[in-house]
Structure 1
């Protein structure tokens, strides 16, 4: 089955970012739409796609639960294949589970010269309330340049927790003050709005892409 994409941003953009969704929400969820718009406003071409279990929810085949991340790795590889040649460097990534899956195929893609880097929006370092169940083993030796954008109060990995993990020196972290797993802050607490954080994320992503490619 050929991958279906949603495209945003200029067709002749220097950088293209392939994004997958999180475990529970589709590629056109409010949070994915908002992040995509911010990135496109920075001149980045964004291509979104869905894993098969999520796409099936649109066709009346029932609400299938998310499979294990390992099970959908081939679907992400197929997404890169189906996207085809891009105008300039290609980056892969995603929201939560989508970013995790991208991180699990990143090195094979990077070493083959097919991608320039990895971008994760809210990486699920561990399940909520289960900090002992780390999902970081493959990140310790990651060769691919990576940018992880994380809210400081993300229940999948907070600013207090993450510095204690062993991560590849090629991974950079962008911390968004008081952001939750969708990177949304409480304005009354932090003084920042969700739009503020997404603008910061998009500007930082653009600068990082220019640096590593």
Structure 2
């Protein structure tokens, strides 16, 4: 089901994969370099409704308009916040877990407190631009005070899983799950410990268990 959502920045869209008997809604944003068809977002939309979790993937206005360059972070936050009432209506009082991949994860972290989220799911959190570890975005990841799950590739050039674990330290509300052999797009080489299906299984199982733990 597609739901068109008007915002002050132009039309946006929710693509909803509904559970028959939902217990929660997972609201996911896409990255700056791709859309809601990303392998991890698509896997969650395909699998989680079978576990009672409705998945709503959100297309930002810049993406709906067909532009190739993402809007600036403040604009992403504006459209996301303006869409929150529509997601709340969709949830009908059920818990809402927010999240996304890469830039979408940053939006979810920055706005979690504003939209009444019960938890945050980060897929490939971009800790820093490739080759620029001094430009850290750690503060954004540490912003939510609610439970946070991060799935991070061991080969992610935006911040490897091991680096993220060291940076986060002892924050008890943040759980980081390394994805063996995966890069920023959750892709793995032929010799990696997990193949593409194994990565998808790890992502979907980890997120489903995380949501189960909240609801």
TM-score bracket, normalised by the shorter chain, equals: 0.7 to 0.9
Shift of 1:141: 4.7
Name the structure 1 match of 2:31.
22
1:117 aligns with 2:123: no
User: Is this contact kept in 1: 2:25–2:56, CA < 8 A?
Assistant: yes
Moved more, 199-208 or 163-172: 163-172
- Taking structure 2 as the reference length, what is the TM-score of the superposition? 0.85
| Cα offsets for 1:19-40 (capped at 9, x unmatched) | 1110011223455323422333
Please point out which of 22, 25, 28 is paired with 1:13: 22
Shift of 1:103: 0.6
Shift of 1:41: 4.2
Shift of 1:146: 0.7
| CA–CA distance in structure 2, aligned partners of residues 193 and 54 of structure 1 | 30
SS class of match (2:27): strand
CA RMSD, 1 decimal: 2.0
Name the structure 1 match of 2:202.
200
1:41 to 1:11, Cα distance in 2 relative to 1, 3 A: closer
User: Is this contact kept in 1: 2:118–2:147, CA < 8 A?
Assistant: yes
1:89 aligns with 2:95: yes
Structure ranking higher in strand proportion: 2
1:31 to 1:170, Cα distance in 2 relative to 1, 3 A: closer
- Taking structure 1 as the reference length, what is the TM-score of the superposition? 0.86
1:179 to 1:64, Cα distance in 2 relative to 1, 3 A: closer
User: Is this contact kept in 1: 2:36–2:59, CA < 8 A?
Assistant: yes
For 1:147-186, list aligned pairs within 5 A.
Answer: 147-166=149-168, 168-186=171-189
Please point out which of 63, 74, 93 is paired with 1:54: 63
For 1:96-135, list aligned pairs within 5 A.
Answer: 96-109=102-115, 114-135=116-137
Moved more, 160-169 or 76-85: 160-169
User: Is this contact kept in 1: 2:81–2:114, CA < 8 A?
Assistant: no
User: Is this contact kept in 2: 1:125–1:136, CA < 8 A?
Assistant: yes
| Cα offsets for 1:74-132 (capped at 9, x unmatched) | 111122212233152111111110111111001233xxxx3211101111111111111
1:150 to 1:39, Cα distance in 2 relative to 1, 3 A: farther
Aligned length: 203
Name the structure 1 match of 2:3.
none
